[in-house]
Structure 1
């Protein structure tokens, strides 16, 4: 229950990032950097009476049904929550700030900051096995069957939106949009990679029993033990190895300092861990 609440709060935060970046940075400059939000900006520029958030809601209803059928109800449920959250947040922003001017006269700066904010939010959402709706669902479906990175998969349908942006807003805006989707794909993959980076830790300590118990009982992680002979003193050593996330590693390091400040520790970063307690191997 506690984990579910935490996941919901994380998704709400990620949705806010996407909504904020879209409405305050991309939309004022007519930068349609892919996705349904980009399509909504195009439609809104042609038909100002159609709100960006409302257009996004209607299109997302259609696409999330496809997502539920192909990817599954868990993904579909999370996607519904995220897509309507983003649309709703943008509608609220439109009510509170109906006229939004660009923060900067430099369109490139608006693009960079908008994509940085949106891409970070989208990366967090994808990492929680959800999507922000719209064309991201198409990207997720492509990812499921091809195993291409999610950032590159999102790039595929975005090309269509960018092409439309070039026609509606002109080649200059189109070029900004192309830069935007390339940057967005890179940021999504980078955020997911960062969130899934773990520490592979090997420990040699005279107080190995306490350290093992701390890993298993307090951190709720498993460990592997093997024995090695030291070349300097020719003595037998117990080597404890485990895989932890960043937060768990910091806790372990603090504990080791307390029980054995002469312990020998080696740490390597791993970008993917599959199996029990981590990502599914399927």
Structure 2
């Protein structure tokens, strides 16, 4: 029985204090740190030196920095402390713990990584190139954090809530949350060009984020016809760890009954399945196709508006 305690609206397992970190959790945290490092470097090396505004709490911190000189890490941490309370109640304690970890790591990175002078990586007046490179790096970084079940805080929390309750991509959810922040940069910088750069940054970052997240989650469908269908099905179950469905078919030319193996797997598991089938039956007939969406156990949860 899955028992739990409910403390001030937060459901916590009874064995919470006995939980031990798993290898997958350690891997997730290492990936979160790497993603946040890319994100922080993108801001310190490209966006902040060229005064390019961005979205989220980091964007608010950047605007405060442009106006007052206060380091980005201070408003970033202060605002996230409030949003984390919302995250714990709406997303769950597991995600929120990784969010707390992400906020702490990113605050530390913003504090220790200096702002790299203009002209170090791109020309001192080449703000557009800085905008593109910085947004791609930041989007990839946040994407790595998301696929590791973490968050960099800020509007990422709001985006995660929308992604769980609505059929909306993470990049689009962040776009809705951040466009007002970037538009308000005109009041501080007084430059319409900077606002445009900020919007371009947000758009490119959203596309980069979706490419990372959806690329990892992309699924494929296999139809395999083989006389060794039992061996192939067993090894796919045991080695690739994917469910297998056996369909009854009939060869129209031979008029003989055949067994058709249907498998839906992640795209990155395709090579393993091909090698497995070839090792058992090199003469097997294999059809592979991409699928738009797969919902259910082992894949994505169904989301209905």
TM-score by length of 2: 0.85
Aligned position for 1:252? 273
Aligned position for 1:125? 145
Aligned position for 1:215? 236
Aligned position for 1:62? 82
Aligned position for 2:25? 4
Q: Using the TM superposition, give the Cα deviation of residue 211 of structure 1 relative to its aligned residue in structure 2, in angstroms.
A: 0.8
**Structure 1 contact 151–185 (Cα < 8 Å) conserved:** yes
CA–CA separation in structure 2 for the residues paired with 1:22 and 1:129:
22
Aligned position for 2:172? 152
Structure in which a larger fraction of residues adopt helix: 1
- Is the partner of 1:59 in helix, strand or coil? helix
Correspondence 1:203-282 to 2 at 5 A: 203-281=224-302
CA–CA separation in structure 2 for the residues paired with 1:140 and 1:221:
27
- Is the partner of 1:19 in helix, strand or coil? helix
CA–CA separation in structure 2 for the residues paired with 1:165 and 1:42:
7
Aligned position for 1:101? 118
CA–CA separation in structure 1 for the residues paired with 2:162 and 2:224:
41
The correspondence for 2:96, drawn from 76, 91, 114, is: 76
**Structure 1 contact 200–269 (Cα < 8 Å) conserved:** yes
Q: Using the TM superposition, give the Cα deviation of residue 130 of structure 1 relative to its aligned residue in structure 2, in angstroms.
A: 3.3
Range moving further from structure 2, 135-144 or 266-275: 135-144
Count matched residues. 278
Aligned position for 1:135? 155
CA–CA separation in structure 1 for the residues paired with 2:153 and 2:61:
13
**What whole-Å deviation, never above 9, does each CA across 1:181-232 have from its counterpart, x for those lacking one?**
1222222223222111012111111222221111111122210001211123
Correspondence 1:151-170 to 2 at 5 A: 151-169=171-189, 170=191
**What whole-Å deviation, never above 9, does each CA across 1:37-59 have from its counterpart, x for those lacking one?**
222221112222x2112321122
CA–CA separation in structure 1 for the residues paired with 2:35 and 2:217:
16
Q: Are the structure 2 counterparts of residues 142 and 199 from structure 1 closer, same or farther at C-alpha, using a change threshold of 3 Å?
A: closer
Q: What CA RMSD, in Å, does the superposition of the two structures yield over aligned residues? A: 1.9
**Structure 1 contact 19–89 (Cα < 8 Å) conserved:** yes
Q: Are the structure 2 counterparts of residues 216 and 271 from structure 1 closer, same or farther at C-alpha, using a change threshold of 3 Å?
A: same
Q: Using the TM superposition, give the Cα deviation of residue 99 of structure 1 relative to its aligned residue in structure 2, in angstroms.
A: 4.5
CA–CA separation in structure 2 for the residues paired with 1:27 and 1:122:
18
TM-score by length of 1: 0.91
- Is the partner of 1:277 in helix, strand or coil? coil
CA–CA separation in structure 1 for the residues paired with 2:116 and 2:229:
63
